[in-house]
């Protein structure tokens, strides 16, 4: 009976109930033992950090169908497989001998991802997700659980095909694309900069707090604790807004769509 699957994944708790995120702060750097301690009394969702394993994750029905065809032809070996809350298969594989990297494929109507590395994770059975009025449970595919089938190795030939498809549809970075993630060492100072810029526009502390929480969730890697973000928003509320509207201080940090919603009255942002 296969027994080594769980030696290759790092199991970790997902902090928000019935959600895909977030994992614990600094989850990328925590050891297996540290995550195990957090899991001891955890009753919510769990995730697998993909340190020594990879997952093919289809994002639409066309990808599910194409991967099933490859499996039927023998180009994609049978392996440990879970079903997501939406019923899409997550196929787990051992890493090939040659190095690989994560891929994002969007070609000919097929959208899927190859996930791997200690900076990526997937939700695992028996996690439950509720979203947009729908809910579903992660589960092992019949006959494809870790106790039922050997974990196959990802064929390097298939990886090269996936990599070629990913390169084929690599879009040019559009003007105003989101900036690089804010990492440890500059997250706090940059969020303070954003908060100050927004306060000068006359935004209220509650609005600034909502904006900073969104930036923290989408751009900080890893995110700051929510209490720390709320403290930044509260502290800038002590200062009076500026008398004129400018976007200085936030131009190189905020996501363009977020800038549009916050600075819609400023003509120079209308070109983004």
Helix/strand/coil (H, E, C) string of 161-215? HHHHHHHHCCCCCCCCCCCCCEECCCHHHHHHHHHHHHHHCCCCHHHHHHHHHHH
Cα separation, 71 vs 69, in Å, equals: 5
Cα separation, 226 vs 232, in Å, equals: 10
Q: Which fold has domain 5-168?
A: Prim-pol fold (3.30.2250)
pLDDT tens for each residue of the chain, 272 residues long = 455 788 889 999 998 889 988 888 889 899 989 999 989 889 899 999 999 999 999 999 999 999 999 999 999 999 999 999 999 999 999 999 999 999 999 988 899 999 999 899 999 999 999 988 899 999 999 999 999 999 999 999 999 999 998 886 555 555 555 566 777 777 888 888 888 888 887 788 888 888 888 888 888 878 888 888 888 888 888 887 764 444 444 444 455 555 555 444 333 322 22
pTM comes to: 0.63
pLDDT score for 249:
45
pLDDT score for 203:
81
Cα separation, 50 vs 163, in Å, equals: 19
pLDDT score for 199:
81
pLDDT score for 223:
85
Report domain extents, the chain: 5-168, 182-271
Using alpha carbons, select from 59, 89, 53 the residue that is nearest to residue 71.
Answer: 89
Contact 185, 218 (CB under 8 A): no
């Amino acid at each position: 009976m296969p027994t080594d699957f769980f030696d290759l994944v790092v199991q970790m708790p997902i902090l928000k109930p019935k959600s895909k995120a977030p994992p614990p702060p600094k989850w990328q750097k925590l050891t297996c033992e540290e995550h195990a301690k957090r899991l001891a009394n955890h009753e919510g969702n769990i995730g697998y950090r993909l340190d020594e394993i990879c997952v093919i994750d289809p994002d639409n029905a066309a990808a599910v169908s194409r991967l099933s065809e490859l499996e039927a032809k023998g180009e994609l070996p049978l392996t440990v497989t879970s079903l997501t809350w939406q019923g899409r298969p997550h196929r787990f594989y051992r890493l090939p001998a040659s190095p690989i990297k994560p891929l994002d494929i969007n070609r000919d109507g097929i959208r899927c991802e190859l996930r791997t590395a200690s900076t990526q994770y997937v939700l695992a059975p028996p996690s439950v997700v509720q979203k947009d009025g729908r809910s579903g449970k992660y589960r092992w595919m019949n006959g494809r659980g870790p106790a039922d089938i050997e974990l196959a190795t990802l064929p390097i030939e298939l990886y090269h095909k996936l990599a070629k498809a990913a390169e084929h549809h690599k879009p040019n970075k559009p003007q105003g694309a989101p900036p690089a993630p804010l990492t440890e060492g500059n997250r706090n100072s940059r969020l303070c900069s954003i908060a100050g810029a927004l306060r000068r526009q006359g935004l209220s502390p509650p609005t600034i707090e909502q904006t900073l929480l969104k930036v923290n969730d989408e751009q900080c890697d890893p995110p700051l604790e929510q209490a720390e973000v709320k403290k930044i928003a509260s502290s800038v509320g002590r200062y009076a807004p500026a008398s004129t509207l400018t976007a200085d201080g936030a131009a190189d940090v905020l996501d363009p769509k977020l800038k549009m919603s916050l600075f819609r009255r400023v003509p120079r942002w209308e070109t983004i």
